[in-house]
A and B are shown apart, each in its own frame.
Chain A
Amino acid sequence: MSDINTVDLRGFVSGAMDEVFDTMLSMNIELADDGVQADVGGERIVGSVGFAGKAVGSVSIHVNEDFARSISAAMLGMEEDEIDGDEDVLDVIGELSNMVGGDLKSRLCDEGLSCDLSIPFITRGSDFRTETKGWERHESLVFRYQEQFALVDVYVKTNG
């Protein structure tokens, strides 16, 4: 079993985001590793999945409503104005977090940190201020697609 502190969480998340955005959305996102602060802006939609086992934690993807609609249109093969209401958008962002979380979960399992994945859940709101305690690792990654940003937060600790 690998030490959670030496596992390449950033690499895992970055690889998963690249693959999901490229395969499902035909969007080439870039990891904004140049110190840019995530300007997700406006009302956020946050798709999250949790995992529990030898490793416990969560993956959350934050995007603003405009980007969420662009992502949904790309995923469903529609124009943005063809998307009816919020239900489809929320489902797409949930599925996005499921795919990224699923990939991360697999990488953790391959490192000997086996765990199970939860079904995705959605949080929506603005003025996000989070304070967390008790995690061994917290990684925050900012991805850029054209003028839009996606923020991915990962929290992990080992169990027992």
Chain B
Amino acid sequence: MALKVLAVDDSKTIRMIVKKAFKTYDCEVIEAENGKEGLETASKEKPDLIVLDITMPVMSGPEMLEELMKDPDLKEIPVIMLTAESGKENVVQILKMGVKDYMVKPFKGEQLIERVTKIITLESKQSEDQDTSKKYFSIVEDIQILTLPQKLDRPISVEIERHFRAKVEEMVNSGIKKFILDMNKVGGTNVTLIKLIITVIQTCQQANIGIRIVGTSGLSDELKGFAETSEITVDLSIEDAKGAF
């Protein structure tokens, strides 16, 4: 059964960052905009963990925590406090409140997950994970092929990069030495695509894996317009790429 995480923050930005951090785990992230709303949601949903901001209008994090502690049904729910203030005085105050842990903003999603895993056990959405991997990766003969989608935005790029790193590890272990990055479906270039191409090329080179890039002539011309990809040779078909290895 999916774990429930309650994110209480008046900033939609922070709630989105928290939600994204848990995206690959079997977790449902519920949101509340202030302590009052957070308390109501906690009573109704009985979350497994609360990620709680300190400074909020209507009811602050410490005020909500105080109410939580008074409620026998809610007082055992672990709380991670979010704070923009890293000063000693503030940290001591937070720890005195009885929270399990705290995070100082700015923080990365993975840093939050690292803290969370010390408190609750998170499980990856494995079956879904494997399915998304199959969307982009395939093996033909002794070649690993990554087929990029028509539109590559940042979340998809992050997902592909995660799968890619796992695939490279598998390739090294199984002795596969050829990789094709197939961009024939890609509709146009953007910074996210360029960054991904560079990452793929550099990672393959570091792992001693031969790499060929496949794409349309239009895409090839567009790549020449970016300093980072201007020197890349693009094959027009998978067959051409295979022949070039």
Contacts and interface: CB of A to CB of B under 8 A. Distances in A.
Given A75-B13, A109-B89, A110-B87, A99 B105 contact: yes
Interface residues of B, number: 29
A106 B108 contact: no
A114 B11 CA distance: 25
- Which DSSP category, helix, strand, loop or mixed, fits chain A's interface? helix
Interface string B179-190: 000000000001
A107 B10 CA distance: 24
Contact of B84 (A73, A76, A98): A98
Contacts of B20: 77
B102 to A, nearest CB: 13
B220 to A, nearest CB: 22
Contact of A91 (B13, B84, B86, B153): B13
A132 to B, nearest CB: 24
Given A95-B14, A119-B56, A119-B57, A79 B88 contact: no
Contact of A77 (B11, B90, B155): B155
Interface in A73-90: 73, 75-79, 82, 87-88
B85 A117 contact: yes
Contacts of A57: none
Interface of B: 10-14, 16-17, 20, 55-57, 83-90, 105-108, 153-155, 158, 190, 192
Given A73-B154, A103-B84, 6 more contacts: A79-B192, A82-B153, A98-B105, A102-B86, A106-B86, A106-B90
Which 6 A-B pairs rank lowest in CB-CB distance, beginning with the nearest? A102-B84, A106-B87, A23-B106, A109-B87, A24-B106, A95-B13
Interface of A: 19-20, 23-24, 73, 75-79, 82, 87-88, 91-92, 94-95, 98-99, 101-103, 105-107, 109-110, 114, 117-119
